[in-house]
Amino acid sequence: MKTFLISVQDVKDNSYLDNNIDDKTIKTALINCQEQMIEPVIGSKLYDYLIAGINNGNLPLAYQNLVVQKMWDPIIHGTLYMVARNLLFRLTNSSIVSDSNQNSTAIGRTDMETMRYEYQNSFQHHITKLQLYLNANAGAFPEYGQADSDDLPASGSQQGINFYYDGDIII
């Protein structure tokens, strides 16, 4: 099972994703965002610390606040970027197909790429804010600057909150 830094419902509630999008699609985009977009920015040590703390139910409050207050925005926008790649097309045994719907019209590839570019810009804006925050508070999050040879190095609230393990609340 994968551990998510935000729930699928929170992604839907805080983005333009329609509620009819399958949770499986969002979960795939969300874990890809976390592993391919977030982990390289914050480094493997901090990422692994967050995931372990969530899985063990003992993530300190400062780290919970980091995730919710500073990481949810880039995760949401990164997930939108990832999910937009796959909403227009499905892979089947015989081909790649595009679904059509009698109630709506799918956008063209150019419009889709423009939309993804906007999501990427939003993601980058929030990542820059996260990096500035982590750099300014390096003492509070010492894992941010650490890396072993097998780790990705980092690129340059008052209450506990709920985290999610494959959609189920664990804290």
Q: Provide the sign of the torsion angle of the four alpha carbons 21, 167, 161, 68, taken in this order.
A: negative
**Tokens at 45, concatenated:** 């040590």
Q: How far apart are CA 49 and CA 98, in angstroms?
A: 40
Q: How far apart are CA 125 and CA 130, in angstroms?
A: 9
pTM of the model: 0.76
User: What's phi and psi for 35, nearest 5 deg?
Assistant: -80, -35
Which residue has tokens 């906007």?
Answer: 118
**Tokens at 169, concatenated:** 């609340």
For 85-135, write each residue's pLDDT tens digit: 776 666 678 777 666 666 666 667 787 778 778 888 888 999 899 989 998
For 13-71, write each residue's pLDDT tens digit: 998 888 888 899 999 999 999 999 999 999 999 999 999 999 999 999 999 999 999 99
pLDDT at 3: 94
